[in-house]
Amino acid sequence: SPPPSERAKPRVIALANQKGGVGKTTTAINLATVLAADRRVLLLDLDPQGNASTGLGVDRAARGAGTYALLTGDRPLAELIRPTPVPTLSLIPADTDLAGAEVELVALEDRDRRLRNVFTADAARLAEYDYIFLDCPPSLGLLTLNALVAADSVLVPLQTEFFALEGVSQIVQTIERVRRALNPGLALEGIALTMYDRRNNLSELVAQDVRGFFKEKVFETVIPRNVRVSEAPSHGLPVTLYDSRSPGAQAYVALADELRRREKVRAA
């Protein structure tokens, strides 16, 4: 393999939205899994609830040290990386201490750039990955801020429901603030419409509204509401492995394709 200096940097993509239950974790797990078919991917669980860890088969009892130890500098990154059911997808789980991190980080030096500093310090180790996904908690506190400061781009999952546009302005403003003050390179990767219900006219109206406002920033692929998606985490598997033929799994394959197509367009 080429020396570290010649390897490309991994693309760091944060999944963020201050609302809970909009599909951040599901999108993180499944995009990471689909891209891992021919890329090396690392997922960091930055939500104290640890749903990304559970959803990839690392139960609460088995969690041990993870992103809390990473942010506080208690453990080196290499010691925290765990395997998942997907061979080329690795995970840094949420440790149980992460719940205290929002409060404890306040007192630490560089409190909003802890993660970025780790990525810089461990750049050689991380160069073996093509993508790093950051699954954020449902708030705009210090954990999400650390993710946005360390990321190249943000992907905002948006539940296709009536107040969708009102909720999204807060995260978009936060992205703009981070860009001005802390991470000028931060891009909006895109907005992904989730839990779309074909039988409900409201879903289509909301989708049109969001596209009218955010234009091409909205992914063409919409993720349908699909019971297989909600079943998969209890089996410790991404839906793309649990039931690869389900509409939810196929939508995530399409979303990953679209993400790659957009990357190529940007690079050209």
Catalog residues that contact ligand ADP under the rule CB under 6 A. 20-26, 51, 138, 194-195, 223, 225-226, 229-230, 233, 248
With CB atoms as reference, the residue minimizing the distance to Mg ion is 25
The one segment of 31-39, 47-55, 88-96, 179-187 that binds Mg ion by CB under 5 A: 47-55
Residues between 48 and 67 with contacts to Mg ion, criterion CB under 5 A: 51
CB 49 to ligand ADP: min, Å: 8
CB 24 to ligand ADP: min, Å: 3
* 233 touches, from Mg ion, ligand ADP, none (C-beta below 5 to 8 Å by class): ligand ADP
Q: What's the rounded Cα separation, in Å, for the pair 171 and 156?
A: 8
Nearest residue (CB) to ligand ADP, 17 versus 153? 17
Out of 22, 23, 25, 223, the only residue in the binding site for Mg ion (CB under 5 A) is: 25
Q: List, in order, residues 6 or more apart from 94 with CB less than 8 Å away.
A: 45, 46, 47, 48, 49, 50, 52, 53, 63, 66, 67, 68
CB 23 to Mg ion: min, Å: 8
27: contact with Mg ion by CB under 5 A: no
CB 65 to ligand ADP: min, Å: 22
Nearest residue (CB) to Mg ion, 80 versus 134? 134
* 67 touches, from Mg ion, ligand ADP, none (C-beta below 5 to 8 Å by class): none
24: contact with Mg ion by CB under 5 A: yes
82: contact with Mg ion by CB under 5 A: no
Nearest residue (CB) to Mg ion, 25 versus 146? 25
Sheet holding 153-159, edge to edge: 82-83, 89-92, 41-45, 131-135, 11-15, 153-159, 187-194
The one segment of 21-29, 68-76, 164-172, 259-267 that binds Mg ion by CB under 5 A: 21-29
